[in-house]
Structure 1
């Protein structure tokens, strides 16, 4: 999936007049990530069971996925279709007729503690994966690290790749709610992404660089997708599973008012996560069966050799 995102970014570099803009530390960040990645990969070649090397490699892949996925989303904004906000509003009304997005959100500032708590719960996406990987370093396995980065890559792909055909401005813009209407807001993304989004669509932004690094995707919601993926990851730690499941339920719900998502975006994001988890589980199961067959074949050959039925050597 990293190769897919990189290919999309490379396409954007070729069609935009400004090409690649590595200023503002973008080139330096990429070089540093690649250098550390090579170190971790090299160490794992000599010590395949090293969890520390696995952690380094996983963190670097994770960082590269996040970076190139964001850049790929900006490329997919180019020449996209018409905004689908009206369709998403209609779906919300059909599926959740009891929920009035505009009234609910505008009332949030009247409950400042709840509003602040939702903002921090929403932002837990920024630290949960790293907390999980550190815990795995001490109490988990390399497979746990592989599981996280695998479902994460598939989840990102499922949320970002359809973006070209499913662009939306977000409910805040659709309902005409400005940031000034939301005193106490700690997350500016629902308003700040649109100028960059439309800059890519109109050609005002003509290069790939730091200006492109913003969350542009409305449906499916990656926050909702990540909430399911992280719940799946945390579930393997018995003492932590329920606190983090509850935290991630809160994160998915907070994506509606804090992240500026329609409710249908949350449902779509959760569906993408379920598919990603199913694919990774199927891959692991198939790999385990292949490994068991190879082990059985080796053991069978060894037994035949020991019994003198197969010439040694």
Structure 2
């Protein structure tokens, strides 16, 4: 079948299936609730996905360069998966589930941690705060570099496991948050105007207030141009930091740079992501579980790291 040849690897097939399933759920919800989705706002994302997908399909069906085919298709599928899952997450708003915020706040108090104190202290070290901001914002660039490196080195099994781990962790995170919502600590702890100006936390009090409003009343409209991360526990930024570190390990050129960046991601997440400490531990647990499940799933679907077998299977018949 054409689709079997197009999505030739386990990671691609699971991504495609996840996109289809989440899209069907979105279509069902929107038809019943008439959700305020700004479909025109998705045009740019759709164009990027279409271009990357067409490039990947052309290279795969022609058999000219499987590395380019895998990199392009992986990029297209991950972009689309991220878009549909974020849309579904917003359809869960408003969310009146059992809020974890009071419990998370108590856990911080038990260890004597306050996000507002961390921000005020960081205001005395503006260069450090700025550096942590860059690190916090580096996740998408890391994932893009990782896709190119794994595809370029033909580490197909590692690429499959990375894709499936991300899918499993992302879906589990959104489902858990739907039942037990929590948002940024910045919604509940004020900081001084001077500290806010110097540190400029990416999830600051203004964003925190907006998240609290979304949690209670929902969005006026759902548009990718206006979306922001709403999930507190578990920290998905932590999941992505661990994902990048784990799957960059077979690539020597990326191994230690990614390790250093993602060790620094811990204070960056606490400062700029405005997370509770337990949010990070939750991210670790979700990543470990997703990674274990992905390893078994990819193995069961017959993934192989043998380049010759993979490229022979993908080559078009002459």
- Please tell me the TM-score bracket, short chain as reference: 0.7 to 0.9
Distance 1:123 1:290 in 2: 33
Q: Show CA shifts across 1:228-272 (max 9, x none).
A: 111111111134322211211211331111101000000001111
| Pairing of 1:187-202 with structure 2 (within 5 A) | 187-190=201-204, 191-192=206-207, 194-195=209-210, 198-199=213-214, 201-202=216-217
CA contact (8 A) 1:148 1:233 kept: yes
User: In the alignment, which of 245, 248, 271 is matched to residue 259 of structure 2?
Assistant: 245
Q: 1:223 to 1:260 in 2, by over 3 A?
A: same
Partner in structure 2 of residue 184 of structure 1: 198
Distance 1:260 1:27 in 2: 31
- Give the deviation of 1:279 after TM superposition: 1.2
Partner in structure 2 of residue 23 of structure 1: 40
Higher relative contact order (CA closer than 8 Å, sequence separation 6+): 2
| Pairing of 1:1-313 with structure 2 (within 5 A) | 1-17=18-34, 19-24=36-41, 26-34=42-50, 36-41=52-57, 43-47=59-63, 50-81=66-97, 83-94=99-110, 97-177=111-191, 181-190=195-204, 191-192=206-207, 194-195=209-210, 198-199=213-214, 201-203=216-218, 205=220, 207-210=221-224, 213-288=227-302
CA contact (8 A) 2:122 2:129 kept: yes
State TM-score, norm by structure 1.
0.80
State TM-score, norm by structure 2.
0.79
Q: Which runs of 5+ in 2 are unaligned?
A: 1-17, 310-318
Partner in structure 2 of residue 305 of structure 1: none
Structure (1 or 2) with the larger CA radius of gyration: 1
Q: 1:55 to 1:197 in 2, by over 3 A?
A: farther
Q: 1:5 to 1:86 in 2, by over 3 A?
A: same
Corresponding residue SS for 2:252: coil
Q: Which runs of 5+ in 1 are unaligned?
A: 296-313
Number of residue-to-residue matches in the alignment:
289
